[in-house]
Amino acid sequence: MEGEAIDVIKGFLQVKLKNRPFITAKIATTIDGKIATKSFDSKWISNEDSRKYTNFLRAKNDAILIGANSFRKDLPSLNCRISGLEDRSPKRIILSKNFHLDLTEDFLDSCQKIPTFFIVGEDFNKDQIKYKNLNFIKSSLDKKNNINLEDLMPKIVKLGINNLLIEGGSQIFASFFKENLIDELILVQGNFIMGGDGISAISDLGINFISDIENKFQLDKVRKIGDDLIIRYTQLS
């Protein structure tokens, strides 16, 4: 049962071997790979039972990460909403280099119950914002002036995070794929097509030729929930 044993401790192993968490990208997408309409409406691409599955997925991970755009557009609670598993809500990590975010009272209250961390640039000054008692982690920026993920990963490990769930949006997914950081990809595929004016699940990766592709995955499992599909891929070693 070596395979089963490794699956149980995969996050621990990743931290010891690479000094970063085991990273799962969960993407709720239409049949044609869209995550929202052009007006950023994404509720709901998947059905209710599929959403229960993704809440269970949250409970299995130590932390959940999203970008500032997803936070602003969706105003997500980022918690586990399965009865009996509310106390298994993961830590929350929000990437916003300049912290251009408006936080609701409900979200601020939830920060007292669920450890929440905002990833900001090294020049950020928390004294210039109106919110108090928030947790900030400073990170260097990469050549494109985005959060440097190579710098960030060891800092996330220091928070006691072995298993990290990425939930969007398309630019965040692209950043992690560009750095070849995704270990597991879970597509929650709804049963409809949106067309070319929808927002693609993953933004530009700068790929011109098939030979340039570094992120390659093997199909691990397919599960049907109503008319939705849960498709799990693992990265080829």
What is the per-residue pLDDT across 190-230, written as a single tens digit (0 to 9) for each?
Answer: 888 888 888 888 888 888 888 888 778 999 999 999 899 99
Q: What is the CATH number of domain 2-235?
A: 3.40.430.10
CA atoms within 13 A on the CB side of 187: 21
What are the tens digits of pLDDT across the range 26-67?
998 998 888 887 777 677 888 888 888 888 888 889 999 999
Which tens digits make up the pLDDT trace of 142-182? Answer: 888 899 999 999 999 999 999 999 987 889 999 999 999 99
Instruction: Evaluate whether 149 touches 181 at the Cβ level (below 8 Å).
Output: yes
Mean pLDDT is lowest, of 86-90, 138-142, 180-184, for 86-90
**Which amino acid type is present at position 188?**
V
User: For the residues 62-86, what does the mean pLDDT come to?
Assistant: 77
Average pLDDT over residues 64-81: 79
Q: Which of 97-101, 102-106, 207-211, 219-223 has the highest mean pLDDT?
A: 219-223
R_g (Cα) of the chain, nearest Å: 18
Residue 85 is predicted with a pLDDT of: 61
Are 21 and 157 in contact by the 8 Å Cβ rule? The answer is yes
Alpha helices in the chain (DSSP H): 2-8, 10-18, 48-60, 68-74, 105-110, 149-157, 170-178
Q: Give the whole-angstrom CA distance, residue 192 versus residue 31.
A: 6
Where do we find the tokens 């004016």? 197
Alpha carbon separation from 9 to 1, 74, 160 (Å, rounded): 13, 32, 14
3-class DSSP state of 169: coil
pLDDT the model gives residue 86? 62
Q: Using the 8-state DSSP alphabet, how is residue 168 labeled?
A: -
Which residues, other chains included, contact 3 with Cβ-Cβ below 8 Å and sequence gap of 6+? none
Alpha helices in 114-216 (DSSP H): 149-157, 170-178
